Amino acid sequence: MFDDRSPIYRQIADRIKADVLSGALKADEQVMSTNQYASYYRINPATAAKAFQQLVDEQVLYKKRGIGMFVSTRARDMLREQGRETFFGEVVDPMVAEARAIGIPLAEVIRRIEQHENNGGV
């Protein structure tokens, strides 16, 4: 389930962030417990706890004592903002490089993007 290479807790944290961004996890919604996560992904509970701790530190999640972990109200906005900052560097630039390498004119790439725009979404 995991590639056993980069630290697993970071992969878990990334997955939860992706769920928050996509709206699968909503603001103030409770996330599964450490043990449920550990059991579901077949990972050590301490690893899952480490991922949760990272997300609490980053203010994506907050802790309610004795109840569990919840998605912060501002989590989605915050992650979107962070995503916007890195989007061009991490997604667009490599895409342009890839298009150049395989010989697709940038005009064609732009036309494709405009098609998405006209169809009203992704």
Binding site for other proteins (CB under 8 A): 1-9, 35, 38-39, 41-47, 50
Least distance (Å) between residue 68 CB and other proteins: 15
Q: Is the Cβ of residue 3 or residue 57 nearer to other proteins in the bound state? A: 3
Q: Which residues contact 60 (CB under 8 A, 6 or more apart)?
A: 16, 17, 20, 71, 72, 75, 78, 79
Alpha-carbon distance 122 to 117, whole Å?
8
Least distance (Å) between residue 118 CB and other proteins: 38
Q: Is the Cβ of residue 41 or residue 70 nearer to other proteins in the bound state? A: 41
Least distance (Å) between residue 76 CB and other proteins: 27
